[in-house]
């Protein structure tokens, strides 16, 4: 999904922080040779795009002590964090993740942004990938390309939050702390699965999809983007922004029009199907590092009424769960990218 659609999906209004306060990252590409997916498929060369802030520091034994990995949500890219309300808040001088002190790494996950993805040319012949593949690719990027042998922190938003749980289980000794945002430590199910399945079926059952070999974006992409719009923000804010039928239709039409110009159906299809292998629940006891999970009460994708986070966090040895209440500043699922809402808990986590 494009940067534009990811921004729309987050439904976040930029703060008054000046652009000059947002650090500028260095960018690069890692080429992972002979990457083998859990599906049994492989690519001779998998590209992962990344952005970095700051420089790595090592102790006397050569271990990197200040590296931070931050992973994005479904349809997003690492670029979504380079904005006043996130990097401008956290990476600035004196910020919780001051880039003069930390080596911060933002990746474009498999199938996203400038990393290898179906729309590059393979279309529906692109290997089927899951969250475990995405985490393993991030691990190879860190160790093989950037020379990072340890992480001070792993954190992520939405899909990236889910991958943070996976990181804690697959590489339990590799990090000092974990902060999943807007996620649940359980298999995708219930309403969360239904909206994803609705989008997947709309695309796959559309005759215009043509098995992924369409020449123009299939019209089912309209349904897909409408569902994305529905799941974002929170109902109070949405009602304030679009208080009449005409204003609601205008906002929805504008969203869909922009999304149809910048979104690829195959990429979106793969991005949503990637969640099918996500299931950290059976192995939560493997997580060793201190972990603070933060959700918000107005998150339609991870509603607090389910009680999943509060129940399962008890199985994480050094785990803590926080559910922020609905306030004028929260933005539903998109609250995960407004750092001022939860940075106090990040500061607490790093103080350990």
pLDDT in tens, 157-174: 999 999 999 999 999 999
Distance CA 295, CA 309 (A): 9
Look at residue 262 in the predicted model and tell me its pLDDT: 87
* SS3 assignment, position 107: strand
Residue 125 has pLDDT above 90, yes or no: yes
State the burial class of residue 236 (Cβ atoms within 10 Å of its Cβ: 0-12, 13-18, 19+). Answer: middle
- Following CA atoms 92, 95, 98, 100 in sequence, which dihedral angle do they give, to the nearest 10 degrees? 70
Give me 185's structure tokens: 């430590």
Q: What gap in Å lies between CA 188 and CA 196, rounded to an integer? A: 9
CA distance 55 to 60: 16
pLDDT tens-place string over residues 62-83: 999 999 999 999 999 999 999 9
What pLDDT does 232 receive? 85
Contact (Cβ atoms closer than 8 angstroms) between residue 157 and residue 72: yes
**Confidence at residue 209, expressed as pLDDT on a 0 to 100 scale:** 98
pLDDT classification of 88: cutoffs 50, 70, 90:
very high
Query: How many other C-beta atoms lie within 10 A of the C-beta of residue 205?
Result: 9
Q: What is the pLDDT of residue 166?
A: 98
Burial of 249 (0-12, 13-18, 19+ CB in 10 A): exposed
Per-residue pLDDT of 132-144, as tens digits, reads 999 999 999 999 9
Give pLDDT tens digits for 224-247.
999 999 998 888 889 999 999 999
Residue 288 near residue 268, CB atoms below 8 Å: no
* pLDDT greater at residue 109 or residue 232: 109
- Least Cα distance to 78 among 24, 3, 190 occurs for 3
| pTM for the full predicted model | 0.92
| pLDDT interval class at 14 (50, 70, 90) | very low
Cα–Cα distance measured from residue 253 to residue 258, given in angstroms and rounded to the nearest whole number: 9
Residue identified by tokens 């997580």 is 287
List the single range of 9-13, 93-97, 253-257, 330-334 with lowest mean pLDDT: 9-13
Share of the chain above pLDDT 70, in %: 94
Percent of the chain with pLDDT over 90: 89
**Burial bucket for residue 27 (CB in 10 Å: 0-12, 13-18, 19+):** middle
In the block, which residue shows the tokens 């000794």? 173
Q: Could you tell me the pLDDT band of residue 16, with boundaries at 50, 70 and 90?
A: very low
pLDDT value at position 18? 40
* Burial class of residue 240 in the structure, from the number of CB atoms within 10 Å of its CB (0-12 exposed, 13-18 middle, 19+ buried): exposed
Region 329-352 average pLDDT:
94
Kind plus residue range of the DSSP H or E element containing 324 = strand 319-324
Q: What pLDDT score was predicted for residue 293? A: 98
pLDDT the model gives residue 22: 67
pLDDT reading at 263 higher than 50: yes
φ, ψ of residue 97 to 5 degrees: the values are: -115, 50
The token pair that represents 13 in the structure block: 């209004």
Q: Do the Cβ atoms of 203 and 220 come closer than 8 Å? A: yes
The b-or-e profile of 159-188 (16+ CB within 10 A means b, else e) is bbbbbbbbbbbbbeebbbbbbbbbbbbbbb
Q: What is the mean pLDDT of the chain?
A: 93
Structure tokens at 15: 């703060």
What is the average per-residue pLDDT within 105-124?
A: 98
pLDDT for the residue numbered 23: 72
Q: Is pLDDT above 90 for 147? A: yes
For residue 10, pLDDT beyond 90: no
Query: Residues with Cβ < 8 Å from 195, sequence gap 6 or more?
Result: 227, 230, 231, 301
- Average pLDDT for residues 306-312, to the nearest whole number? 97
């Amino acid at each position: 999904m494009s940067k534009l659609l990811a921004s729309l999906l987050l439904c976040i209004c930029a703060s008054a922080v000046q652009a000059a306060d947002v650090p500028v990252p260095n960018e690069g590409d890692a080429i992972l040779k002979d990457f083998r997916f859990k599906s049994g498929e492989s690519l001779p060369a998998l590209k992962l795009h990344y952005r970095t802030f700051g420089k790595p520091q090592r102790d006397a034994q050569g271990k990197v002590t200040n590296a931070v990995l931050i992973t994005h949500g479904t349809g997003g890219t690492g670029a979504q964090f380079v904005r006043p309300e996130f990097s401008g808040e956290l990476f600035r001088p004196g910020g919780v993740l001051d880039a003069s002190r930390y080596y911060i790494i933002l990746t474009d996950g498999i199938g996203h942004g400038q990393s290898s993805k179906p729309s590059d040319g393979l279309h529906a012949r692109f290997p089927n990938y899951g969250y475990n593949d995405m985490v393993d690719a991030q691990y190879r990027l860190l160790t093989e390309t950037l020379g990072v042998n340890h992480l001070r922190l792993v954190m992520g938003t939405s899909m990236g939050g889910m991958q943070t749980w996976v990181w804690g289980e697959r590489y339990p000794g590799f990090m000092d702390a974990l902060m999943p945002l807007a996620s649940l430590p359980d298999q995708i199910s219930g309403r969360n699965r239904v909206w994803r399945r609705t989008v997947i079926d709309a695309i796959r059952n559309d005759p215009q999809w043509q098995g992924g070999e369409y020449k123009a974006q299939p019209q089912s992409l309209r349904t897909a983007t409408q569902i994305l719009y529905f799941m974002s923000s929170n109902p109070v804010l949405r009602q304030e922004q679009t208080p009449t039928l005409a204003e609601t239709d205008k906002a929805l039409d504008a969203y869909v029009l922009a999304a149809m110009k910048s979104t690829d159906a195959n990429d979106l299809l793969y991005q949503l199907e990637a969640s099918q292998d996500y299931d950290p629940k059976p192995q939560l006891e493997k997580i060793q590092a201190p972990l603070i999970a933060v959700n918000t009460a107005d998150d339609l994708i991870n509603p607090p009424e389910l009680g999943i986070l509060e129940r399962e966090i008890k199985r994480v040895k050094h785990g803590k769960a926080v559910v922020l209440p609905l306030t004028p500043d929260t933005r539903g699922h998109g609250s995960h990218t407004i750092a001022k809402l939860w940075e106090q808990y990040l500061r607490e986590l790093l103080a350990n």
